[in-house]
Amino acid sequence: MAVIRPRSTVRAWQPSVPGIAEVFHARFTEHAYPAHVHDTWALMILDGGRVDFALDGERHGFGVSDAVILLPPGVAHDGRTVTEAGFRKRVLYLDTSVLPERLTGAAVDTPLLADPALRERVHGLHLALAERDPDPLEAQSRLAFVRERLHRRLAGRAVAGAGAGAAAAVVAVRLRELLDARVAEGITLEEASAELGHLHPTHLIRSFRATYGLPPHAYLTARRVALARRLLLAGVRPAEAAVAAGFYDQAHLTRHFGRHVGISPARFARSGRL
């Protein structure tokens, strides 16, 4: 009896997040990559199966685990399935604004990074990027923590922490003022960093979370929902309220509104007229 193997599938897209050239999700049942190079870093996690690859002439085997694969730009590598079931992978192609090329040697020496915290951060970033309308600030925040962890592993030193509690609170208050002033249009981490004296993005996020109990992107989403509530109660149509409050469209507003308020924007707007 013939064995029916699952069909190979691929999903790839370019997110509007600086530093991420491409997101690539794939399931391969029978596939072998020829030796090739990328002009970006390839950061990969496996969700199923095993893969075998050679990097700079040295072979490595990799299965589902708490590790990640990091392949540097400009270094030849290949890849192939190992088992009949194939493998499922998720890959982020990162440009050199995320990781400088000077870290290539360290990545060639240790392309397999056994780091549960790093894998969890990469997984969380993939989830954020896979949203129908991804929140740019959330994705940038998650990428900043992935970058920080990779730098720690490859450069062998920690990025400076958030400092004293009082100093962190001052930073958090200033960042909150920026977010409050730009609820609808939003702000990127790079813009916030420049406004606040070029502080490191993870320093900003940690300071804000320590002070207010949630990350900046979650705070901004809540402020946008609150603004949408006021607009809806003032008689603004849901589609118009969504855009005015900083959401992509009505569907984007509806998803977050349901989480925060428990009903759809349209039902909420009608509730005041009952």
Instruction: Clarify whether residues 33 and 73 are in a common domain.
Output: yes
For position 250, which CATH number holds?
A: 1.10.10
Q: Is the pLDDT of residue 232 over 70?
A: yes
User: How many degrees, rounded to 5, is the angle at CA 129 between CA 123 and CA 134?
Assistant: 140
Place of tokens 């109660």: 233
Query: How many domains is the chain built from?
Result: 3
Q: Is the pLDDT of residue 58 over 50?
A: yes
Q: CA 61 → CA 48, 82, 87, 104, 252, distances in Å?
A: 13, 9, 12, 20, 41
Is 154 domain-assigned? Answer: no
Is 110 domain-assigned? Answer: no
Among candidate residues 139, 136, 206, 144, the one with its CA nearest the CA of residue 175: 206
Surface-to-core class of residue 11, CB atoms within 10 Å of its CB (0-12 exposed, 13-18 middle, 19+ buried): exposed
Torsion of CA 128, 132, 137, 143, to 10 degrees: 30
Count of positions (residues) in the chain:
274
Instruction: Clarify whether residues 183 and 229 are in a common domain.
Output: no
Using one digit for the tens of pLDDT, what is the confidence trace for 126-170?
Answer: 999 998 888 899 999 999 999 999 999 998 744 444 345 678 889
Residues contacting 140, CB < 8 A, separation 6+: 17, 18, 188, 189, 190, 201
Using one digit for the tens of pLDDT, what is the confidence trace for 195-206?
Answer: 999 899 999 999
d(CA 144, CA 25): 21
Is 35 domain-assigned? Answer: yes
d(CA 112, CA 115): 9
Instruction: Clarify whether residues 240 and 203 are in a common domain.
Output: no
Is 108 domain-assigned? Answer: no
d(CA 109, CA 71): 10
Instruction: Clarify whether residues 180 and 248 are in a common domain.
Output: no
- Given a contact cutoff of 8 angstroms between Cβ atoms, the answer to whether 99 and 41 are in contact is yes
Residues contacting 13, CB < 8 A, separation 6+: 22, 23
Among candidate residues 42, 52, 47, the one with its CA nearest the CA of residue 66: 47
Query: Which phi and psi (to 5°) does residue 89 adopt?
Result: -135, 155
Using one digit for the tens of pLDDT, what is the confidence trace for 242-263?
Answer: 999 999 999 999 999 988 888 8
Instruction: Clarify whether residues 258 and 196 are in a common domain.
Output: no
Structure token pair of residue 52: 């075998």
Q: Is the pLDDT of residue 87 over 80?
A: yes
Using one digit for the tens of pLDDT, what is the confidence trace for 204-223?
Answer: 999 998 888 889 999 999 99
Final residue before a domain boundary, out of 95, 124, 157: 95
Q: What is the pTM of this model?
A: 0.77
